[in-house]
Amino acid sequence: MLRVLVVLSVAYGVSCVGFNWTSANVCPTLKNYNTIETNQNCRYNPNVRSSLRDIVLRNGYPIEKHNVLTEDGYILVLYRIPSSNKDNTKRQPVIIQHGIQGSAAFWVLHDRKSIAIISTV
């Protein structure tokens, strides 16, 4: 009896959470979101709700995280995507900064078309 109760509880929990990890989560227009469950124009994008690290690694690039302590005690988190080019002698660093309330992930949301990825090639 207890086993049946546990199985039913887990099944109910999974159905409530919506265990489908590949259902559509992005649409080309705002109007399409009204019918996202059945709309053929909407698709699944693995970058939605992914961390910067996950997105960069998914695209085949390494990533480094650096914590910088300022003089006034504030901790800045900086990310570096090293160049895929083996000859770094002529390369210059590219620093990009997101706006207030933004995230470093903004710079990699378009996978290999993103400015953070393009600037490493």
Question: Is there a contact between 79 and 70 (Cβ–Cβ < 8 Å)?
Answer: no
Could you give the CA distance from residue 14 to residue 53 in angstroms, rounded to a whole number?
27
Question: Is there a contact between 65 and 90 (Cβ–Cβ < 8 Å)?
Answer: no
Q: Is the pTM of this model over 0.75?
A: no
Q: Convert the pLDDT of each residue in 54-100 to its tens digit.
A: 999 998 889 999 999 999 999 999 999 887 666 656 777 788 888 88
Alpha-carbon radius of gyration of the chain: 20
Domain ranges of the chain: 1-45, 46-121
Residue 93 vs residue 1, higher pLDDT: 93
Token match 């509880």: residue?
9
Could you give the CA distance from residue 12 to residue 35 in angstroms, rounded to a whole number?
25
> Where does residue 93 fall: left (phi above 0), alpha (psi -120 to 50 degrees), or beta otherwise?
beta
Question: Is there a contact between 108 and 114 (Cβ–Cβ < 8 Å)?
Answer: yes
Whether 22 has a pLDDT exceeding 70, the answer reads yes
Q: Convert the pLDDT of each residue in 37-54 to its tens digit.
A: 999 999 999 888 888 999
